[in-house]
Amino acid sequence: MLDTLRRTIQEVNRAPDLPRALSIIVSRVKQAMVVDVCSVYLLDSELDQIVLMATDGYNSDAVGEVRLRAGQGLVGLVARREEALNLDDASDHPAYVFTSKIGEEPFHGFLGVPIIQHRHVLGVLVVRQRERRRFAEQEETFLFTLAAQLAGAISHAGASGEINRLLQQSDESRYALKGASATPGAAVGVARVVYPMANLEAIPDRPVDDIDAEIAEFRAAVAAVERDMRSMSARMVDSLPVEDIALFDALILMLRSENLMGGTIEGIRAGNWAPGALRNTIAEHVDAFEDMEDPYLRERASDVRDLGRRILQHLQSIHPVARKFEPDTILVGEDVSASQLAEVPVNLLVGVVSARGSSASHVAIIARALGIPAVMGIDDLPVGRLDGQELVVDGYQSRVFVRPSQAIRNEFLRLQREEAELSTELQGLTRLASETRDGVRIPLYANTGLLTDITPSLRCGADGVGLYRTEIPFLIRDRFPSEEEQRRTYRQVLEAFAPAPVTVRTLDIGGDKMLPYFPVEEDNPFLGWRGIRISLDHPEIFLTQVRAILRANAGLNNLQLLLPMVSGVGEIDSAVGLIRRAHEELLDEGEELVYPKIGVMIEVPSAVYQIPAMAARVDFFSIGSNDLTQYLLAVDRNNSQVAELYDALHPSVLRAIHHVIQEAHAVERSVSVCGEMAGDPVAALLLLGMGVDSLSMSAAGLLRVKWVVRSFTQSQAQKLLDEVWELEEGSAIRALLNASLEAAGLGGLVHAGR
């Protein structure tokens, strides 16, 4: 049955639409389990009904016609209980409902299992037997396993089929793709798909202008791969036996085959560019090999994939990936990276859509800093079909509309105007102090990483920079920047804000911020080699950066240094030792430099409970709420499967932050919050009640937070905090705080929350 399971899942994943996927399921399950009927019912959430969507064994005319109320009948019972139901005679069960349309009268044995994805019941998978019998335990577990694994494939097939329908028809649609999380805002624009090099699966469809030239480039790429294969064969002839060398000849024959060559050329003639046509041909060949009974032949699928990647590499060297962007670009990808986002001119970028990631991922943070809406974690995103399509990005409800109707387009254009009007109204706060109604001053700093952030940060009246992310200049290059290149970059930031303080965080790579020229391969990167750990293991990189930062501060003296991902005092001692060494070396070289204040980011749970010991070594603390939330809740913030569990207002997160503030103040050390919490008006109200010394956020959120600070007294915020301690769920806490903003006349800020 394991082989049947594998084959069925592969076939369903290849299905072009939902009806075909469901047809495959019922046919394969009926055959594998040797039953009389297999059916799939799906939930229609709008009508609150369960609908027969596919069957092999019942009356096929009943498909789409048989509808049960939610919870009705045995199928409804399975969906409501979210557990399997195994009966030797269905009609004996009190919940049984006879349905004449499907012709079920002769059947007795019943086994139904729920199809569930992300806690939501999608439907029910049912098998029936004519005779009275209870299905065996092995049969039940097989069907249960199949349903669990098919949930994602069914969801994806439904989305893909809907997208295919949209792209084949000229009419507009209300269809929306749902993301796991988002950054606030609305955008209307045109999709531009970005993808990593030599990744066939990520290649989008694109129209071809010159078919003959495209075919010639494809033939040249194939010829280049053949030369490579012959060269490899010649190099290995003295090292491998004859039968193994013959494998290279087999690959060359495969490369020259009419199926591979002819199939791709046919795709190009049909109007797709060579990489897209190649992707389709390779996928067909891989599917064919994976369906073979012989294990040896099945393994040849990996050879086909390798040939496809090699051809693509040559195609991309002949025909490099274009980096041209048009106005109103919406960046779309399987996993949009910070470097890909940084390649788009800010004045042309209006939105970001990514199949992976969350609102707390690095690319989402940068998007928010630029004031650009983003929707992350769309499991069913058909990336390859979206290039050049008009999209609406709804960052408020984590939705993306494909080919939106005129009504939807107009509604989101209206939202954009309202956002712009609110921003214009808030400009009046720019020159006013960030001070509560009872006179408590709360400096608001900007988070930056791109030089293009400087002007917006200055315009919104930031009191300085609370977090300068030095990894971004590293991410947008194809090599490590030199000390002088770094110095010039840091100098621009320090000069722009002088004499206001600028907190520069040392290199924080790893996790979801990988340098293409410094790969880190780990099974669990967020718990691995990142932040200060890499810096201490590579002192040559750290010392070069620290020297550049210290030199950039010459004559300005507004620098503060911040160390990321610190989990213990030993790391502080080692890092401070290197900083002192760099400072002394520069003094010996004749530089006149002031030794800066040094702070530590509190983002690892172990650091929360070492504040007094750390305070003896550093001058200030900065709470990185994004990672602290991630680690306290054991939630990978880039994993769409658990994105709903990531909540910075979780009571445990709030208590940890409050503990840090109290402990730091007890030893006369200041505390800033520089994570996304700081820019959330709702969360900022709580932080104000906790007594935080300053907040640092993206320029896009600064005036909204200032409006909150100036609308409350600190004592009001403290009373709210006392109420919050009585609550046990993050959702309840957010509801209370949203109501407080509404009551204070700040209802327009509620959308700026999560």
Smallest CA-to-CA distance from 699 within 507, 498, 450 is with: 450
Which pair of structure tokens corresponds to residue 739? 């109501």
Q: Rounded distance, CA 739 to CA 255, Å?
A: 65
Query: Cβ atoms within 10 A of the Cβ of 40, count?
Result: 27
Is residue 692 within 8 A of residue 665, CB to CB? The reply is: no
Say how many residues make up the chain.
754
User: Quick check: helix, strand or coil at residue 601?
Assistant: strand
Give 204-234 as a DSSP string.
PP-B-S-HHHHHHHHHHHHHHHHHHHHHHHH
Query: Cβ atoms within 10 A of the Cβ of 4, count?
Result: 15
Is residue 75 within 8 A of residue 62, CB to CB? The reply is: no
Is residue 358 within 8 A of residue 647, CB to CB? The reply is: no
Q: Which helix (H) or strand (E) holds 278?
A: helix 274-290
Q: Rounded distance, CA 389 to CA 175, Å?
A: 13
Catalytic residue, from 38, 460, 674, 751: name it: 674
Paired with 446 in beta bridges are 465, 697
Letter string b/e over residues 595-620, b meaning 16 or more CB atoms within 10 A of that residue's CB: ebebbbbbbbeebbebbeebbeebeb
Is residue 140 within 8 A of residue 55, CB to CB? The reply is: no
Query: Cβ atoms within 10 A of the Cβ of 86, count?
Result: 16
Is residue 712 within 8 A of residue 689, CB to CB? The reply is: no
Is residue 702 within 8 A of residue 443, CB to CB? The reply is: no
Which pair of structure tokens corresponds to residue 102? 């499907």
Q: Rounded distance, CA 242 to CA 347, Å?
A: 60
Using CA atoms of 409, 423, 679, 457 in order, give the dihedral in degrees to the nearest 10: 120
Any catalytic annotation for residue 362?
Answer: yes
Please give the distance of CA 659 from its chain centroid, rounded to a whole number. 30
Which pair of structure tokens corresponds to residue 307? 């040939």
Smallest CA-to-CA distance from 45 within 125, 154, 120 is with: 120
Nearest 5°: phi and psi at 37?
A: -145, 140
- Three state DSSP letters for 392-453: EEECCCCEEEECECHHHHHHHHHHHHHHHHHHHHHHHHCCCCCECCCCCECCEEEEECCHHH
Which pair of structure tokens corresponds to residue 481? 């920047």
**Residue whose token pair is 């059947």:** 107
Catalytic residue, from 108, 285, 362, 658: name it: 362
Using CA atoms of 423, 426, 429, 434 in order, give the dihedral in degrees to the nearest 10: -90
CA triplet 644, 646, 648: central angle to 5 degrees? 130
Q: Which residues have CB under 8 Å from 6's CB, separation 6+?
A: none
Nearest 5°: phi and psi at 473?
A: -60, -25
Is residue 52 within 8 A of residue 62, CB to CB? The reply is: yes
> Peptide bond before 499: cis, by omega within 30 degrees of 0?
yes
Give 497-544 as a DSSP string.
HTTS-EEEEPP--BTTB-BTTB----SSGGGSS-THHHHHH-HHHHHH
Which pair of structure tokens corresponds to residue 347? 């004045």
Strands 109-117, 399-402: pairing is unpaired
**Residue whose token pair is 């254009």:** 413
Nearest 5°: phi and psi at 589?
A: -85, 5
The residues carrying an active-site annotation are 362, 674
